[in-house]
């Protein structure tokens, strides 16, 4: 069976793996994200070592932080483009790995990668239109529509539109440097930390932070539901590790939509409509393997 | 050349046509929407008369008001389902025409029809991911994503998500019976009429109504842009007949997104990114012909 390589390229670490799926990860390594030269160099060293040990790789997949260029016809295809991360602007990710490893390389956003992993092996099996949203340091979304990964003009930026905010109940003005109180500005992990003065993971389950967090997530999901009518929504990322958020989000979406859209998924079965990722922690790197597989 | 039939099935009128495209409409008729029996009966009589005169039709397309059932595997495929319009709940549109005319029938939402028309003959030629939004009696949206019409769980309901509203500058609580101040509740033609006490078409161009209307449209479009990253957005419907809204919407979207998404379409070329439909008044019925063509 063909062996693939995968890289979940994140702003704090690159997770590299070789294998064929969730039950068959042959090797895995975490590399801190420093400079492109050092980080890409270490990742290359990992794959070259694995090739010597495990045999040839038929393809590599890269699920990358962004913004990234996804149009194959662009001269910057496979680049990280206008990122604020120091040193990484205009980095030719795909090219670096393709030249050094001389194998086909699949390339997409981190969230599209995670979505593809959930599609092959997780919570989105058999669906052709669904959204994968991550609520962590940032908020980002991807998914499949009509059976293909979401691209369009660039790629979705699902954390950066405006939600209603009532300054009487939430005076925190939001933390997005571009938009203030966009979804990410209100509901990312760092936004929670700024609003409440402590890290999200240290807020107890009965803290009012969680009802407000669920409210914003419900507003955002309602907007995605009205816009693309997904068959399911998968919610991952550090903040969603708080599983008690899920029932709050279910109730919130029902309240916001108010039974306007008559679909059993939204009325009777919302607990299986808005779900955690099945692949958990490894969704990212398995997504990268799925990108390799699709190449 | 094959001749198609098309029906733009609206809540106030059915527009029926026979032809092959915008430059070749052989016959057209407007039928008031009364009961399903009477309205469908008249439409059938029109197509039967045209067949006798112009020759056989190779397919019919129906672009319908909704909600509609679009899953071919559903027993209610081709039905108008849970509409509030008296008498029309659970109407088998597709079945009625297929049985009587005995030709293939394509069926979709009115806005997906209009989008397909613009794709073949109008403002969306050559694009694979774009949105068509109508701002009229209601607000609805459709479009193509990855080259195929937007369906998903049901179909988009792009007018019914929440936007930020500042009650100090806009005390009107919104007119949607389900959501109050959703996009449609704030910005449809009837919402403008309720807010300002006169029909939208009678408000002069310098009235503050238009800046507020453009603001809400800009917020909604920004949300679609972040969610699906369309390559273009086409804005139709009665309210958008006010062409002076377009520059206001362009400026509003730029202000809301604040150059976060670095795409020339959003920065330099926004006037060709958010555009009126090319097919104008006839977008609906031409869309229905396009649905027939795609069948
Ligand atoms: N168990 C947890 N509960 C709540 N918040 C968490 C938890 N773990 C991490 N977070 C928050 O999530 C953010 C990190 O997100 P994460 O998805 O883990 O990483 P990243 O987005 O950087 O890839 C931080 O703001 C952190 O406070
Ligand atoms: N020229 C115009 N300028 C502003 N508003 C208009 C204009 N024409 C129609 N409208 C408004 O648009 C709504 C009707 O929308 P329209 O798209 O024409 O029909 P429908 O949505 O019923 O198919 C009404 O609320 C009307 O006030
Ligand atoms: Zn933002
Ligand atoms: Zn509504």
**The pLDDT value given to residue A221:** 98
Mutate to test the pocket of ligand 1, among A109, A159, A238, A244 (most ligand atoms within 8 A of CB): A238
**The pLDDT value given to residue A7:** 98
Q: Is the predicted pLDDT of residue A134 greater than 80, yes or no?
A: yes
CB pair distance less than 8 Å for A129 and B141: no
Torsion sign, CA atoms B233, A215, B186, B32? positive
Tokens of A250: 């279910």
* Same domain membership, residue A63 and residue A30: yes
* Same domain membership, residue A186 and residue A94: no
* Same domain membership, residue A289 and residue A270: no
Tokens of A257: 């939509």
Q: What is the mean pLDDT of residues A105-132?
A: 97
| B283 in a structural domain | no
**B residues 68..87 contacting A (CB < 8 A):** 81-82
- Give A100's pLDDT tier (boundaries 50, 70, 90): very high
Tokens of A69: 């260029």
Across chain A, what does the average pLDDT equal? 96
CB pair distance less than 8 Å for A226 and B159: yes
| A37 in a structural domain | yes
CB-count burial class (<10 Å; 0-12, 13-18, 19+) for B23:
exposed
**The pLDDT value given to residue B280:** 85
* Same domain membership, residue B64 and residue B27: yes
- Between chain A and chain B, how many beta carbons pairs sit less than 8 Å apart? 153
User: Which residue of chain A is at minimal alpha-carbon distance from B144?
Assistant: A146
| A118 in a structural domain | no
Percent of chain A at pLDDT > 70 equals 100
| A158 in a structural domain | yes
**The pLDDT value given to residue A16:** 98
Torsion sign, CA atoms A70, A74, A76, A82? negative
CB distance from A117 to chain B under 8 Å?
no
| A115 in a structural domain | no
| Residue of A111, A151, A153 to mutate when probing chain B, most B C-beta within 10 A | A153
**A residues 205..264 contacting B (CB < 8 A):** 219, 222-231, 256-263
Tokens of A179: 């938009």
Cα B167 to ligand 4 centroid, rounded to whole Å: 18
* Same domain membership, residue B51 and residue B167: no
Mutate to test the pocket of ligand 1, among A12, A63, A84, A137 (most ligand atoms within 8 A of CB): A137
Minimal C-alpha gap between B231 and chain A (Å): 5
**The pLDDT value given to residue A20:** 96
Cα A192 to ligand 3 centroid, rounded to whole Å: 15
A226 φ, ψ (degrees, to nearest 5):
-65, -30
**The pLDDT value given to residue A83:** 84
| Residue of A81, A228, A257, A269 to mutate when probing chain B, most B C-beta within 10 A | A228
Q: State whether ipTM is beyond 0.90.
A: yes
Residue nearest to atom 2 of ligand 1 (CA): A201
Q: What single-letter DSSP state applies at residue B240?
A: G
Count CB atoms within 10 A of the CB of residue A199. 12
**Using one digit for the tens of pLDDT, what is the confidence trace for B3-62?**
999 999 999 999 999 999 999 999 999 999 999 999 999 999 999 999 999 999 999 999
- Give A253's pLDDT tier (boundaries 50, 70, 90): very high
CB pair distance less than 8 Å for A262 and B159: no
Which of ligand 2's atoms lies nearest the C-alpha of B199?
A: 27
Q: Is the predicted pLDDT of residue A1 greater than 80, yes or no?
A: no
Mutate to test the pocket of ligand 2, among B33, B85, B137 (most ligand atoms within 8 A of CB): B137
Torsion of CA B106, B160, B284, B153, to 10 degrees: -10
CB-count burial class (<10 Å; 0-12, 13-18, 19+) for A41:
middle
Considering every ligand atom shown, identify the ligand nearest to the alpha carbon of residue A191 and give its number: 1
Residue B95, H or E segment = helix B93-101
* Same domain membership, residue A269 and residue A135: yes
Minimal C-alpha gap between B157 and chain A (Å): 5
Cα–Cα dist B59/B181, whole Å: 41
Cα B163 to ligand 4 centroid, rounded to whole Å: 11
Would you say the CB of residue B137 lies under 6 angstroms from ligand 2? Answer: yes
Percent of chain B at pLDDT > 70 equals 100
Give every CB contact of residue B293 below 8 A, 6+ residues apart in sequence.
B4, B59, B61, B106, B120
Residue nearest to atom 25 of ligand 1 (CA): A189
Domain coverage including residue B78: 4-109
Among residues B79, B109, B139, the one where a domain terminates is B109
* Same domain membership, residue A251 and residue A136: yes
The parts of chain B modelled with pLDDT lower than 70 are 1
Q: Is the predicted pLDDT of residue A204 greater than 80, yes or no?
A: yes
Would you say the CB of residue B284 lies under 6 angstroms from ligand 2? Answer: no
Tokens of B49: 């008369």
* Same domain membership, residue A148 and residue A72: no
Cα–Cα dist A132/A153, whole Å: 19
> Residue A209 belongs to a domain with what CATH number?
3.30.420.40
User: Could you tell me if A270 and A254 are in contact, meaning their C-beta atoms sit under 8 angstroms apart?
Assistant: yes
Give every CB contact of residue B268 below 8 A, 6+ residues apart in sequence.
none
Which of ligand 2's atoms lies nearest the C-alpha of B203?
A: 4
Residue B212, H or E segment = helix B208-228
| B56 in a structural domain | yes
Closest by CA position to A17, among listed A110, A9, A39: A9
**Tokens 């279910």 map to which residue?**
A250
Measure CB to CB from residue B164 to each of A141, A163, A226 and give the nearest one: A163
| B218 in a structural domain | yes
Distances (CA, A) of A53 to A7, A22, A27, A41, B167: 18, 20, 10, 19, 66
Number of domains in chain B: 2
| A117 in a structural domain | no
* Same domain membership, residue A57 and residue A41: yes
**The pLDDT value given to residue B23:** 96
Which of ligand 2's atoms lies nearest the C-alpha of B188?
A: 25
Cα–Cα dist B3/B55, whole Å: 8
DSSP β-bridge partners for residue A14: A9, A31
* Same domain membership, residue A159 and residue A103: no
Cα–Cα dist B5/A292, whole Å: 45
* Same domain membership, residue A183 and residue A159: yes
* Same domain membership, residue A192 and residue A172: yes
The long-range contacts involving B89-93, CB below 8 angstroms and separated by at least 24 positions, are: B91/B36, B93/B9, B93/B40, B93/B62, B93/B64, B93/B68
């Amino acid at each position: 069976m063909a062996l693939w390589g995968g890289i979940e390229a994140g702003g704090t670490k690159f997770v590299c793996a070789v294998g064929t799926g969730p039950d068959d990860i042959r090797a895995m390594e975490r590399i801190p994200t420093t400079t492109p030269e050092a980080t890409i160099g270490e990742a290359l060293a990992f794959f070259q070592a694995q090739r010597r040990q495990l045999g040839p790789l038929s393809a590599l997949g890269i699920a990358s932080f962004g913004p990234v260029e996804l149009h194959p016809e662009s001269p910057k295809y496979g680049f990280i483009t206008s990122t604020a991360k120091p040193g990484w602007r205009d980095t030719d990710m795909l090219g670096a790995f393709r030249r050094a490893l001389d194998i086909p390389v699949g390339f997409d956003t981190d969230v599209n990668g995670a979505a593809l992993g959930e599609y092959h092996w997780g919570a989105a099996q058999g669906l052709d239109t669904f959204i994968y949203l991550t609520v962590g340091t940032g908020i980002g979304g991807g998914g499949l529509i009509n059976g293909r990964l979401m691209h369009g003009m660039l790629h979705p930026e699902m954390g950066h539109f405006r939600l209603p905010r009532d300054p009487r109940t939430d005076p925190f003005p939001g933390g997005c440097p571009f938009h203030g109180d966009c979804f990410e500005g209100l509901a990312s992990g760092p936004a929670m930390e700024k609003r409440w003065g402590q890290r999200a993971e240290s807020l107890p389950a009965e803290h009012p932070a969680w009802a407000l967090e669920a409210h914003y997530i419900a507003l955002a999901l309602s907007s995605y539901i009205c816009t693309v009518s997904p068959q399911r929504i998968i919610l991952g990322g550090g903040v969603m590790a708080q599983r008690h958020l899920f029932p709050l989000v279910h109730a919130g979406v029902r309240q916001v939509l108010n039974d306007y859209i008559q679909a059993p998924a939204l009325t009777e079965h919302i607990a299986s409509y808005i779900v955690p990722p099945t692949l958990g922690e490894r969704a990212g790197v398995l997504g990268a393997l799925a990108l390799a597989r699709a190449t």
